[in-house]
Each structure stands twice: as structure tokens, then as C-alpha cells.
Amino acid sequence: MATTIKILEKYLHKELNVDSFSDYCPNGVQVLGRGQIKRVMTGVTASQELLKAAIAWQADLLLVHHGILWDRDSRVVKGSYKKRLQMLLANDLNLMAFHLPLDAHPVFGNNAQILNKLDLIKPAPFGRYKGGTISFCGSTTKAISMADFTKKVKKCFAGSPLSLAFGPKNIKKVAICSGGAPELIREAKEEGADLFITGEAAEFVYHFAKEEKINFIAAGHHRTEMFGVMALGEHIAEKYNIEHKFHNVANPI
């Protein structure tokens, strides 16, 4: 079975509520390739390594969280960006990317998926951004020690997270924001969270966590943003009866 890139983009644009976000990259199709979609590969970042994997698998669409177009980047087509573009065009490969809409989605989003994998319940909006929110807080079913919860996080993300155990010894409320959002530790404290989990740390976080007595875990930008695009790929594969494959290009950051 197959669908078309136009049908797929229209559906995802609506499902992910793209128009409600003020993002710093285009969400949706970034490079238009062939019209028919039978095979979709998903991954976190449209790197050359991921593009090679998609081409080798003969994917029709590469669906990612981090595309190749960002507002902050130069408009000059050169270097690695030029190479990525050449690979896409030479193989008539579609590239579709969803950034903040995929972080925020209550089912397929990175943060919703993390909540589920960590067995957190009662999701509440968290992560204020330009008049809305992009993430969630959740609660444990029963109090769990910071040491045991850290083990759970390590198992979830298959890595060695940076853990700052400066807050309550027992964890009940957890604030989460995938990717690079260390500044949201302030909001996590305001919301009464015992623990804040994000992908990356910043220098100020150590002192803030210690002085304000809140636990902090940086589990990796890449690792905290795998689950959303993976879940979205599985969803559209089932909905449109097409093939899906998630390819992980490991990134320790």
C-alpha cells in the first residue's frame, strides 16, 4: 500500500496542530521528493549518516525531529548542508521535520512518550513557551527514592545521565522537557516538582538545583528526543499501511 506526500503532510499538519506553534524552523515538508510514499524512515536528526541509511533502505520519506532548515542558519548553501541537500535531491527523497509540535503532542510527543515510559501519571501542562506550553509534569504512582528513579531513567534512555541529587530524597512530582531546556528548572521549581528532567545541562543549573533544593537529570538531548518521532512513524505506518523503520544514529550529547 502507499499514500502520497501531500496527504501525509496534510494529516500530520492537522494532527500535530502545527499552526498553533511559533517555531524557529519550518514544520512539515522541508525538501519535496517523489509523490508516492511506501516506505518511511524516522530518526532524530537529518544528518548525512541518517540520510545514507534512508537511501540504502530505499525510503520514500525521511521523517525527523531536527530537519535541515533553521532560522538561525546562513542562507548560503555550502559545506555539510550542501551535501545533505545534494543527497536528498539526487535520490528524490522527501524530508519532513516536526520540531516543537512533536515535543508538545499529548500522545506522540517526545515528552508524552517519556512520561509513559517512566510510568508517570496525571500529566499537567509544563514548559511555558510564547504563550503556550510544550511539555508536561507527571506524578509517580507512589513515592520512589531519587536513587531508584535515576536507575529507571538510565534504563529508559540506555545511557549515563548527569544526575544532581540536591532535592527531596523521595520523588513524587516530575517535570520533563526533552532536548535542551535547562532554563526550565526554574519553572519546575515553581510548579513544586521534586525532579526536573531534560536533555542538556547548563552551568547555572548546578548552583540553582543545590540552593533551591530540586533534583535534576540531564539524560541527553538526542536520547530524550527519540521516542516521539518513533511513535509518530509507527502511527502513520499503521494508519496508511506503509512500511516504517526507525534508525538510531547514536549521539552522546
pLDDT tens readout for residues 141-197: 999 999 999 999 999 999 889 999 999 999 999 999 999 999 999 999 999 999 999
**Could you say which DSSP state residue 249 is in?**
-
Residues of the chain scoring pLDDT < 70? none
pLDDT digits (tens, 9 = 90+) for 120-133: 999 999 999 998 99
| pLDDT at 1 (0 to 100) | 77
Nearest Cα to 44, choosing from 244, 234, 221? Answer: 221
Question: What fold does the segment set 3-98 form as a domain?
Answer: 3.40.1390
| pLDDT computed for residue 54 by the predictor | 98
What pLDDT sits at residue 194?
A: 98
Q: Can you give the pLDDT at residue 177? A: 98
CATH topology of domain 104-225: 3.40.1390
43 forms beta bridges with 64
Count CA atoms within 13 Å of residue 126 on its CB side: 32
Cα(140)–Cα(152) distance, rounded to whole angstroms? 12
- Tell which residue, 12, 5, 4, 77, has the closest CA to residue 236: 12
Among candidates 115, 97, 206, which has minimal Cα distance to 156? Answer: 115
Cell numbers 549515563 label which residue?
160
Considering the chain, tell me which residue range(s) the CATH 3.40.1390.30 domain(s) occupy: 3-98, 104-225
- What torsion do the CA atoms of 193, 197, 203, 208 make, to the nearest 10 degrees? 10
Q: Among 127, 125, 171, 120, which Cα is nearest to 147's?
A: 171
> pTM for the full model?
0.96
Residue among 236, 252, 244 at smallest CA distance from 8: 236
Write down the pLDDT at residue 159. 85
What is the Cα–Cα distance from 232 to 102, expressed in whole angstroms? 9
- φ/ψ of residue 83, rounded to 5: -65, -45
Nearest to 114 by CA among 63, 177, 41: 177
